[in-house]
Amino acid sequence: MARTARYTAVAILLHWLIAALILALFVSGLWMTRAIEDPAQRLAAFQTYQTHKAIGLSVLALSLLRLAWRLLHPPPPLPEGTSAFTRIAAATVHWALYGVMIGAPVAGFVMVSASPLGIPTTWFDLFAVPHLPLGPDAALEAQAKAVHRALAWGGIALVALHVLAALKHEFLDDQRLLLRMLPAGREGGAGPA
């Protein structure tokens, strides 16, 4: 089999770091929204909200960096013979994932910035992150919360689709596309930085 074209080392690092952080956001988001209703878990849930916000801001910053990197360093081409439908579907899912990775944290930050509670946001308790100058606005907070929630659930669906498609191309189609994004694939390490 011919050598598989690979993503750059920077793209691979950002992909897996963002993926791990998104997994943490999914898990913490599901747990904290239920736990906050339980008085016995409220303090732990509040602390989890703070961590969730810091991870979300990290995903936003890393996703913007990843998007800039992708625009400057196009991904390796899909294998010859890839159908037009598959090419369009892959591009659509990838750009939708960028939309979620950027849109969900932005909506979350609008939500906390507009919250009448005025709870400060810190980045892992290292420094305060100033809120957007929106002032207390319960209606805006509710709208941003609905958008944040919709993007989170949409993100879960897109990630599942992305993973299933990658596995299909790897194992059913024998295209070895996973090697392009693995930190150290069987056909060598990552591409150039």
Domains with residue ranges and CATH for the chain:
9-189 (1.20.950)
Q: For 36-41, what is the mean pLDDT?
A: 96
pLDDT in tens, 117-135: 999 999 999 999 999 999 8
pLDDT (0 to 100) of residue 185: 54
C-alpha closest to that of 152 among 111, 122, 190: 111
Output phi, psi for 122, to 5 deg: -125, 160
CA geometry: angle 61, 72, 182, nearest 5 deg: 70
Helices (H), the chain: 9-35, 42-72, 84-114, 138-167
pLDDT (0 to 100) of residue 80: 87
Burial of 100 (0-12, 13-18, 19+ CB in 10 A): buried
pLDDT-based confidence at residue 190 (cuts at 50, 70, 90): low
Is 97 in a helix, a strand, or coil? helix
| 59 in Cβ contact with 20 (< 8 Å) | no
pLDDT-based confidence at residue 1 (cuts at 50, 70, 90): very low
Cβ neighbours of residue 155 under 8 Å, at least 6 residues apart?
A: 22, 26, 97, 100, 101, 104
pLDDT at 101 over 90: yes
Stated pTM of the model: 0.91
**Cα-based torsion angle of the residue sequence 9, 13, 19, 21 in order, rounded to the nearest 10 degrees:** -170
Q: For 31-44, what is the mean pLDDT?
A: 96
